[in-house]
Structure 1
Amino acid sequence: MSFNLFDIASSGVRASSELLQTTSKNITNVNTVGYVRERTEHMTMIDNQVGRGETYRLLNEFAQKQLNRDTSNKTFFDQFVTEAGRVDSLFSQESNSLSTSVNSFFNNIQESLNQPSSSVARSLVMTDAQSLIEQMDRLSGIVIDQQSVVNEQLEIFSDEANNLIQNISTLNNKIAAVDGTSQESGSSSLYNERDKAIRDLSALIDIETLDGPNGSKQIYMGTGEALVMENGTFNLFSLTGDPDPNFKELKLDVQGGKAVPLEVDPSKLKGKIGGLLAFRDDILVPAQNQIGQMGLALADTFNQQNHLGMDADGNLGGDIFNIPEVQAFAYQANTGNGSMTATVEAGKGNELPASDFIVKYSGTNEVEIYPIDNKGEMIKDANGNNLFTTASVDPTTGKVNSQNNTGLDLFGLELTLDMSSTPNIDDQFMVKLNSQASTSLELATNRPEDIALASPIRTANDINNTGAASISAGTVSDVSNFTDTPSLQLSTDSLTLTKSAENPDMFTLTDGVNTSAPFTIDSSGKNIIQQAETAGVLGAITTLTAEEVGFDFNIEGTPAVGDSFTIEANADGFDDNRNGQLLADIQYSNIVRQNVVGNASNNHKTLNQSYTGLVSDIGVVTHQAQTSGAAFTALAEQSEAWYESLSGVNLDEEAANLLRFQQSYAASAQVLSTARAIFDTLLNAAR
């Protein structure tokens, strides 16, 4: 009997000791990150012996996978909101408002209209023009700084992800070495370390796990790409910029170390890396492009209208802003050595969308121009096909513009290929005109006198007119055939329209030397030069077409027979502000193209509307991310609580177990003591 008691007591002491050790381990690791609570269980007593206990981790893999997924979503929005909130705050500040600078610039133009001969008023316009450029540069600088932050963090996060991937692969090998052996139960720290590495990786990217052989875990991205595979093999992340070295793209080193792009939507990538990429694509890229687009549209429109006026020196107006020319980025896969530059074609700034472009050299002296979205994907048309324009290249100058591609939508671009080293067929270039121009706009002049407030033409009713008609102020559409002084390039610098005496509906045009045949003016009285060309009589006084003449006028009211109206060069028109009024009207003109698809007038907005839309879009996207982030934070907290309730250490429960196992140990020890006393008594009795 004493032998049975001794065996039972010894087995009980050992079992209680194992239970106490497991409980002590749980309590000791209560604050250890990634520790999974353990439990020791024993088989039913056989032959007076309790079986050796088996210790295992209390892990619910479903709860663990759910926690990893929710962690990826939470960190995605945490990262996005942190970055976007900073930009939203900066763009919302009054001191950074582009609208304030735009309004101040045009307000001073309005002031100059009241006193066009005032050099002070003109100087204020130039000062505000410089301030407007500096404000655009400041806003662009905010975006560029954030892009640098994104690149730096992408480097850090990708290195961190690579270290975790390698660590998981190493731990897989160690776990496989003990799987199924007597050392497996004592290697729980390896499993805990691997699970923690997997969760840390899920905070960087969205991942899925699969059970592999010998206790290993295979790791895949949520989009399907393999990161950790069987037999210890793994893939790592790398960052490269192709074709723009400053625009980092995430790649995965596969196929024997050859880097291939990850064709993934950042919204599916999740984690901190996905949040950074989404912030860049949804906030930074459109902001930079729209700032540049507004600057180019304003600069080009203002320059073109200034060309149609006369400056304070009595000369035709010139450029007020310098339109930059940027170098296109060549793709690394190009087989040729060709290069390309891009700028806004003069007079086409309102056709430029807030987009980057891929230009493909598709054939001899032919290119295809593809607008791309914020993520670098080609934009589709209504039928789901890639939207593009096929354009001809001037074989002599290498230029692609509307002059050699009449009627095509070239998106306001003027491209120039270096014809000394033309690209090979299918070579591609990326044009980032908007984003590069946002920090490179400059004033073309600092002279207040160069603002062309006056019109190069003036009109007058003859003082002897007896009718009730009058001539309009006239409009100027093209000064390419004027001389700089200016001169109308007719036989004389004036043109007279006279109501013909031969017929009540007939008029004649004369430049003082040549006189047209009588022609009829319709009841609208508009665009007299155009009507003269339509009637076939304009050629009597000039070899130019109505478009080339470059000006036109209207007759309003009913003239009497013999009434005449004169239009002439505006010599010494220093106090004239008619072109200045047209410059001021640019503030309320729809000059900023909104969408790539469609170039109609209803696809344009004013400068202030565009900037307001930009600030509003940033705010809306940020607010939506904050709302979604709050929801996923709640889900992550819920998943964390659920996971911890299953796998975390509960001190109350462990304290109760400790007390219970202490009592069990003490009881077994007491039985052991009793068995020893009985055994000693039996021995003494036999002596």
Structure 2
Amino acid sequence: MSNLLSIGASGLSAAQVALSTVSNNISNVNTTGYSQQSVVQVEAITSQGGRYTIGSGVDVQSVQRAYSDFLTSAVWSSNSSLQAATSYNNLATTLNGALSASGSLQTALDNFYGGFTTVANTPGLASSRQSLLGNANSLVTTFNTLGQQLQAQQGQINSQISSTVNSINTVAANIASLNTQIVQAGKNPPNDLLDQRDNLVQTLSGYLGVSATTQSDGSISVYSTNGQALVSGGNSYAISAANNAYDAARTDVFDSTGNDISSRISGGTLGALLSYRSNVLDSAQSQLGLQAVGLASSINDQQAKGLTLSGQQGGAMFSVPTPAVQASSANQGSASLSASISDVGQLTGSNYIMRYDGSAWSLQTTGGQNVPLTTNADGSLSADGLTFNVSGSAQAGDSFQIQPTTQASTGIAVSMTDPNDIAAAALMSGSAGASNTGSASLGAVTVQDTGNAALTNSVTLSFPSAASYQVTDSSGNVIASGSYAAGQTISANGWSVTPSGTPSANDSFSIGLNSNGLKDTSNALAMASLSNTGVLASGTQSIVAAYGQLTTTIGTAGSQAQTNLTTQTSLYNQAVSAQQSVSGVNLDEEAANLVRYQQAYQASAQIISTAQTIFSSLLSAVQTA
């Protein structure tokens, strides 16, 4: 009877464990990260003896999770890609919104350049000139607003990087803690802890790309996609968010030994933040600043080639910040570096790192591309439209970051306050001598060097013969001379002129400040034409075209981000569906199991009842006998 009783008891116990397991599955059907559990039953070992053997009941060997390492890893990977796509899309959408909501820069540019046409049509009308200055201020405000919004997004990204790094460290520490508990559990794997650990790894994968390796003791080691160890057994290795080596207002990511790993992190929210900042936002700031510099430089240069309403050479209409130079916090020497823009047309919109190796300086873009440096006669260095001057003593390994245009969009300002200072007229003009007998005429006097000290001095261009010329100053000193052929350009004192026709011997022309400033509007028309004139990219791209290219680039980045988000969402859903088909709880299946194990429990109870009845009958029979 004892054998029958023990068999029934084993079945009763197994059914009870199975019922508890099924109940736990049903209770956790909506629990994130929960894996379906099932009871593994084996036949109890029967001792040998006699002519035959009878089974000894059932043993519950384990309660195991429905789990696929491959499918779970696929969910982690797709989750990392999805969170990266989500963050990237949110950032790109914000940037597109900033370009739209800040007021159209295109409209401001059109109004500004159109204002010069209005001044050309009504040069003596004060309201036209005042309106042009108003358009200039509106344009600058639009540049400033856009630049400030880009700066604000930089600050938001810095904050998000710091909070994401803190979250990564917290989750990694919790995984390490669970590793310790799982190892202590020994050979009986605690399913709830395993589920919690997997759920934490998935959470971690949303912050950055990770891979995980299961160790022989049941713990897992977690690494970022760049190979950085985050968790190993019961230990976690914290990363940190700290100031960039050059820019204290910029947050970078460092490993546990202090190495900057920002450029090597990919996947998840953190990877998206760093990638978007480097590939989209930094470039947008530099390109917008480049347009501000190009606009200011071209207008200021053309202003200097014109004459104001008061008869003076035109001055600057705009002011812009000089290139920002930032020394590395690791510099050991006393050297300082200054940078200036020497040729706007050669600017690339890139940022640079300049390093000293102990004997010479080298230049690279922040993306790592080498840039040739030219040593000038005065000892300065130049490259890509920039001139660098080094003072002090540098040590090997010292470096500087140069941002030629990053701050220009927020720093550009209107420096002109008097509308009469708009140089609408040509600065120089020429007139033929009264006794000229040839057919030569001068046409426009073109200003070549606005900084020439003798530019506006009155001079006489004469032709001693039809085949020679000379330029003399007011004192009769010859400042330029040479042979002459029809159509030849003659230059002196920073201006040039190309006579047409054929001069006769002793013909002469007077050249000096334009005496017809009020009626001459050629310089205003020249400034209006700058809207379609190549100013940037070696003179091949206008400011208007550059802005159009920027908006197209940002719009394309936003469109690609949205498309990628749609794709990654689909891939993630597929991965989760595949994983849940193995690990998820099926209520219909659990309901059927509940009935099956309930019946098994009742049947085992009946076995015990039967054994008890037989045992009672035997006792009664013995007592009767």
When the two structures are superposed, what TM-score results if normalisation uses the length of structure 1? 0.84
Is 1:353–2:353 an aligned residue pair? no
Is 1:155–2:162 an aligned residue pair? yes
Are the counterparts in 2 of residues 301 and 350 from structure 1 also a CA contact under 8 Å?
no
Deviation per CA, 1:571-618: give whole Å up to 9, x if none. 46333223223222222221123xxxxxx44xx311111111111111
Distance in 1 separating the partners of 2:163 and 2:293: 36
How many residues are aligned here? 613
Is 1:644–2:580 an aligned residue pair? yes
Are the counterparts in 2 of residues 325 and 341 from structure 1 also a CA contact under 8 Å?
no
Deviation per CA, 1:238-269: give whole Å up to 9, x if none. 3332211122111111xxxx311116445xx1
User: Residue 443 of structure 1 aligns to which amino acid in structure 2?
Assistant: V
Residue in structure 2 matched with residue 10 of structure 1 by the alignment = 9
What secondary structure sits across from 1:354 in the alignment? coil
Name the Cα RMSD after superposition: 2.5
Deviation per CA, 1:543-590: give whole Å up to 9, x if none. xxx4xx111211223445665443233246333223223222222221
- Per the TM alignment, residue 8 of structure 1 is displaced from its structure 2 partner at its CA by 2.1
Q: 1:428 to 1:118 in 2, by over 3 A?
A: same
Q: 1:305 to 1:6 in 2, by over 3 A?
A: same
Deviation per CA, 1:252-291: give whole Å up to 9, x if none. 11xxxx311116445xx11111111122122211111011
Are the counterparts in 1 of residues 461 and 469 from structure 2 also a CA contact under 8 Å?
no
Residue in structure 2 matched with residue 284 of structure 1 by the alignment = 281
User: Residue 291 of structure 1 aligns to which amino acid in structure 2?
Assistant: L
Which of 607, 616, 620 is matched with 2:552 structurally?
616
Distance in 1 separating the partners of 2:238 and 2:356: 35
User: Residue 653 of structure 1 aligns to which amino acid in structure 2?
Assistant: E
Map 1:577-596; keep pairs closer than 5 Å.
577-593=521-537
User: Residue 495 of structure 1 aligns to which amino acid in structure 2?
Assistant: T
Distance in 1 separating the partners of 2:475 and 2:377: 44
Distance in 1 separating the partners of 2:262 and 2:472: 69
Residue in structure 2 matched with residue 496 of structure 1 by the alignment = 461
Distance in 1 separating the partners of 2:474 and 2:228: 81
Residues 168-177 or 334-343, more deviating: 334-343
Is 1:442–2:379 an aligned residue pair? no
Residue in structure 2 matched with residue 274 of structure 1 by the alignment = 271
Are the counterparts in 2 of residues 328 and 339 from structure 1 also a CA contact under 8 Å?
no
Which of 378, 386, 401 is matched with 1:413 structurally?
386
What secondary structure sits across from 2:241 in the alignment? strand
- Per the TM alignment, residue 482 of structure 1 is displaced from its structure 2 partner at its CA by 4.2
Deviation per CA, 1:640-681: give whole Å up to 9, x if none. 011111011111111110011011111111222122111111
Q: 1:519 to 1:300 in 2, by over 3 A?
A: closer
Distance in 1 separating the partners of 2:590 and 2:481: 111
Residue in structure 1 matched with residue 429 of structure 2 by the alignment = 458
Are the counterparts in 1 of residues 432 and 509 from structure 2 also a CA contact under 8 Å?
yes
Q: 1:279 to 1:657 in 2, by over 3 A?
A: same
Which of 277, 281, 294 is matched with 1:297 structurally?
294
- Per the TM alignment, residue 511 of structure 1 is displaced from its structure 2 partner at its CA by 5.1
Is 1:377–2:385 an aligned residue pair? no
Q: 1:591 to 1:46 in 2, by over 3 A?
A: same
Residue in structure 1 matched with residue 608 of structure 2 by the alignment = 672
Residue in structure 2 matched with residue 521 of structure 1 by the alignment = 484
Is 1:388–2:369 an aligned residue pair? no
- Per the TM alignment, residue 342 of structure 1 is displaced from its structure 2 partner at its CA by 3.2
Which of 322, 325, 331 is matched with 2:322 structurally?
325
What secondary structure sits across from 2:199 in the alignment? helix
Residue in structure 1 matched with residue 498 of structure 2 by the alignment = 554
- Per the TM alignment, residue 515 of structure 1 is displaced from its structure 2 partner at its CA by 8.1
Is 1:142–2:78 an aligned residue pair? no
Distance in 1 separating the partners of 2:95 and 2:456: 52
Distance in 1 separating the partners of 2:377 and 2:220: 56
Residue in structure 2 matched with residue 543 of structure 1 by the alignment = none
User: Residue 32 of structure 1 aligns to which amino acid in structure 2?
Assistant: T
Q: Unaligned stretches of 5+ in structure 2?
A: 47-55
Residue in structure 2 matched with residue 199 of structure 1 by the alignment = 202
When the two structures are superposed, what TM-score results if normalisation uses the length of structure 2? 0.92
User: Residue 360 of structure 1 aligns to which amino acid in structure 2?
Assistant: R
Residue in structure 1 matched with residue 52 of structure 2 by the alignment = none
Are the counterparts in 2 of residues 464 and 563 from structure 1 also a CA contact under 8 Å?
yes
Q: 1:59 to 1:624 in 2, by over 3 A?
A: same
Distance in 1 separating the partners of 2:603 and 2:531: 93
Residue in structure 2 matched with residue 334 of structure 1 by the alignment = 331
Are the counterparts in 2 of residues 115 and 575 from structure 1 also a CA contact under 8 Å?
no
Is 1:575–2:511 an aligned residue pair? no
Q: 1:324 to 1:615 in 2, by over 3 A?
A: same
Give identity over the alignment, percent: 29
Are the counterparts in 2 of residues 460 and 567 from structure 1 also a CA contact under 8 Å?
yes
Which of 307, 310, 325 is matched with 1:310 structurally?
307
Residue in structure 2 matched with residue 240 of structure 1 by the alignment = 243
- Per the TM alignment, residue 513 of structure 1 is displaced from its structure 2 partner at its CA by 5.8
Distance in 1 separating the partners of 2:437 and 2:569: 83
Residue in structure 2 matched with residue 52 of structure 1 by the alignment = 60
- Per the TM alignment, residue 686 of structure 1 is displaced from its structure 2 partner at its CA by 1.0
Deviation per CA, 1:319-340: give whole Å up to 9, x if none. 2212323552111211024433
Distance in 2 separating the partners of 1:146 and 1:113: 41
User: Residue 344 of structure 2 aligns to which amino acid in structure 1?
Assistant: G
User: Residue 119 of structure 1 aligns to which amino acid in structure 2?
Assistant: A
Distance in 1 separating the partners of 2:319 and 2:361: 27
Are the counterparts in 2 of residues 238 and 252 from structure 1 also a CA contact under 8 Å?
no
Q: Unaligned stretches of 5+ in structure 1?
A: 380-385, 530-545, 594-599
